[in-house]
Amino acid sequence: MSNRAIKAWYLVHKWTSLVCTLFLLMLCLTGLPLIFHDEIDALTEDRAPLRAMPAGARALPLDDIVAAAVRLYPGERPLFMSFDDDRPVANVTTGPTADAGRDEMHITAFDMRTAEPVGPLLEEGVMAVILRLHVDMFAGLPGELFLGFMGFLFFVATVSGVVLYAPFMRKLDFGALRWSRSRRVRWLDMHNMLGIVTLAWVSVVGLTGVINTLSDPLVDFWRVDQLGKLVAPYEGLPPVPVAEFGSLEAAVARARAEAPGTRPQFVAFPGVRFSSNHHYAVWLKGATPATDRLLTPALIDARSGDLTAMRTMPWYMLALRLSQPLHFGDYAGMPMKILWALLDIAAIAILGSGLYLWLGRRAGSIETRVRELRTGAAMPVPAE
């Protein structure tokens, strides 16, 4: 590689890493407890116990649970219903209007066997604060997109670091740690070794993080690209009033009959973001570990209960759906979570060492640094 090319890659590596380092440190620090969010929630969440029922007690019709939620919050309408995987509980979201904001919604868990409320689902506590900080820094969509851009810069910094690592390795063994050299050189070697060893993980987590920040734009594009075409025959018709909603139980049964072996993950009521003004959107998932993350929406006419359409998710929604658990290591239980945590700690060390090396940098021209690189005397680092 010529000196000119090395200089260009050096500048790319320097400025992309310098801009994103502090934000990536924040994301790695907040991401560490989020890897174990299920376990932490289980320890800290005060879930009301369900009433003891005879073995084999059957669930009530879903319409009874919706009616219970509406009675609990007079003047509100149903927006969503989701289902717990580990107990017979349905979570109903209600709000004053179909476009109600998060602060206006009420989310209540109901025992599906009795339609009794078993407690509100509150988005509060330390884990909720950490999650909001990690996702959007309490800035909503602009915060998500900003962090997505920081993730993209981090990926560019990673790629440029790999390019610069090749000439550096001409004079050293792979992963060499020169303990006899100065403290700065030892930090530099540790930084480079951890960076190249964790390259694949950093790339995967960084790119899935970027995809996750595009969740809202991708859902909006899906509404225009897919949903709009599916409900085109209903265009121009007035929205279905809440009083004229048909049976939710029948709608879910109709959707499951069309896709045997699936089960509902959540239902979007007519008028909300994940449905249309005229349909229940029943989002079905597979019953096996391999298909559990794959969702298929079925649109059921809210008045007649007829199936309007069922279509698998397009590639961009599938990428979004698969990237979310991969980002936090949710695919293979505790062993994968522990591995993700160890790699996250390594990423913190990489970013921290890069910041340390930047703050303690020596004065010198780019040309001097390029000459050092070519002779194996030094290596550019993130944020330097």
- Angle made by CA atoms 375, 378, 381, in degrees to the nearest 5: 135
What is the residue type of 166? A
Nearest Cα neighbor of 206 from 156, 132, 160 is 156
Tell me how far CA of residue 138 lies from CA of 123, 143, 232, in angstroms.
Answer: 13, 7, 36
Q: pLDDT value at position 288?
A: 66
Q: pLDDT value at position 173?
A: 65
Hey, what are 285's tokens?
Answer: 């998932």
Burial class of 49 by CB neighbour count within 10 A (0 to 12, 13 to 18, 19+)? exposed
> Residues of the chain whose pLDDT is less than 50?
376-384
Q: pLDDT value at position 284?
A: 92
Q: pLDDT value at position 161?
A: 82
**Strand 77-83 to strand 279-286: parallel, antiparallel, or no bridges (unpaired)?**
unpaired
Counted residue by residue, the chain has a size of 384
Helix or strand or coil: residue 279? strand
Query: Residue 296: beta bridge partners?
Result: 284
